[in-house]
Every structure is written in structure tokens, then in C-alpha cells.
Amino acid sequence: MMARSAERNKMTTVNIATVTESKDFPAGTVDTSYHVTLVDTTGVVIDDVFSTDGTASFQNVKPGSYNVNVSKNGQTASTAITVTAPSVTLQVPVSVTVTLA
């Protein structure tokens, strides 16, 4: 159980937000939801979600290089990301003072 917990501590959450613009489509075109995919460097889809507002979160992503693809209405925007291991700031001893009575 400890190894699994340690492995999960090396993972992070990736939050996605999308910038959009308006584009004209032929009358009768049906608006679609956003399809957000997290893809590794070999092209394997790690996770995907559908979203109504272009935001998404991927939980427990291992450190590495990925591409994020956001598709809507036949258009796709992509970006490359690097996920690093999360870190915490902890207090550590710097020096010790000893007083003799």
C-alpha cells in the first residue's frame, strides 16, 4: 500500500482551459461539445473528456511529455505540455545550538 501511495504522490492534476473565437458555419450545422484529450508522445490517448465549456481536468497524471487536443465543431487546437512531479516545501534543520548549564 505504501508503494502505491508514494507513486500517487508523484502524480499531478492537469487543468485545461480553452480560448475560443466565433466562426461562421453553414445553416443547420449542429454545435458540438468540446472533446479534450490528453495524449502521450507516442500518440496513445491517456484520457479524454467531453466538456460543455472547454475546461477539463485530468487526475493523477504521471510526469512526462504530453499533447492536449481540444476539438469542437470539426476544429482542433493542440498544445504540448510537460508534467513535472509535484513538490512541497518543508522545514529542514540548518544548524543546532547547544547551551550547557
pLDDT confidence of residue 8: 52
pTM for this prediction: 0.70
Q: Is 17 exposed, middle or buried (CB count within 10 Å of its CB: 0-12, 13-18, 19+)?
A: exposed
3-state secondary structure of 48: strand
Please state, for a pLDDT cut of 90, what percent of the chain lies above it. 33
pLDDT greater than 80 at residue 9: no
What CATH class does 2-18+32-83 carry? Answer: mainly beta
pLDDT confidence of residue 20: 82
Instruction: Give the angle subtended at the CA of 76 by the CAs of 58 and 14, to the nearest 5°.
Output: 15
Could you give the CA distance from residue 101 to residue 95 in angstroms, rounded to a whole number?
20
pLDDT confidence of residue 80: 93
> Which of 40, 46, 33 has its CA nearest to residue 74?
33
Q: Which helix (H) or strand (E) holds 2?
A: helix 2-9
Give pLDDT tens digits for 34-66: 999 999 999 999 999 999 888 898 888 889 999
pLDDT greater than 70 at residue 91: yes
